[in-house]
Amino acid sequence: MNLYEALRARRSRREFSAEPVAPTDKAALLDLARERPEGGWAYPSAHGLRTVTLYDVGPHVPRNAVESAVFDEQPWLLHAPLLLVLSADLGRAHAEFDFQDPSGNQARDFVMLEAGCLLQSVLLTCADRGLAAVPVAGLRRPDIDGVFGHPAHVISLVAIGHTAAN
C-alpha cells in the first residue's frame, strides 16, 4: 500500500475481533517512536528533544481503570487487543522552550505537534497493515495520568485490533 492509499484507507474503527495483534505488527508500531538503527526518526521533534513516548498498556494496567478515566462510555478500550499510550514529558519541553514564551504555550504547541505527527504515523501504519484503530483523547484529568503510574502527561490512547466481522 502506498502513502496515498493508506491515507484513503485510514478510518477510526471501534469494533475489534478477539484476534490478537501479531507481534510483528506491534513491534512495527512501537518502533515508530524509536530512533532508526541507521539514524533518524519517523517524526519531527523541536530541538530533537523527543518528549513524546509511545508504549503498550500491556496486562499490568486494568482496562476498566483506563476506561473509567475517559469521558463518555468507550467500551472498545476494554476489548481492543492492543492499547497504546501516547504521552509526553511536558516538564522537559517547558525547560527548553519557556524562554521563548513564558506562558508555556510554545512548549505545549511543540509537544502537541510532535505527538500529532507520531499519532498519524501510528494510524497510517495500522491502515497499511490492515488493522483497525481509533485514537481516544477525551481524557479525564488528573485521573488518566494516575492510571499508568508515572508522571508523564497522557495525550492520547490508541485502541488497535483486527476489524470485527459485521
Strand partners, 133: 12, 160
44-83 per-position pLDDT tens digit = 888 888 889 999 998 888 888 998 899 988 888 888 999 9
Averaged pLDDT, 5-15: 74
- Please state, in angstroms and rounded to a whole number, the distance separating the CA atoms of residues 111 and 127: 24
The predicted pLDDT at position 131 comes to: 94
Confidence check: pLDDT of 166 > 70: no
pLDDT tens-digit readout, 137-150:
999 888 888 888 77
> What is the torsion angle, in degrees rounded to the nearest 10, for the CA atoms of residue 52, residue 151, residue 141 and residue 105?
-50
Q: What is the pLDDT of residue 47?
A: 87
Q: How far apart are CA 92 and CA 96, in angstroms?
A: 6
Is residue 21 a contact partner of residue 122, using CB atoms and an 8 Å limit? no
Domain locations in the chain as residue ranges: 3-161
In this structure, whether the domain defined by 3-161 belongs to CATH 2.60.40.10 is answered with no
Query: Can you name the residues that pair with 16 across neighbouring β-strands?
Result: 163
Q: How confident is the model at residue 15 (pLDDT cuts 50, 70, 90)?
A: confident
> What tens digit of pLDDT does each residue of 98-134 get?
888 888 788 889 999 999 999 999 999 999 999 999 9
User: According to the model, what pLDDT value does residue 4 have?
Assistant: 67
pLDDT at 17: 92
- Whole-prediction pTM value? 0.89
H or E element at residue 67: helix 63-67
Strand partners, 6: none
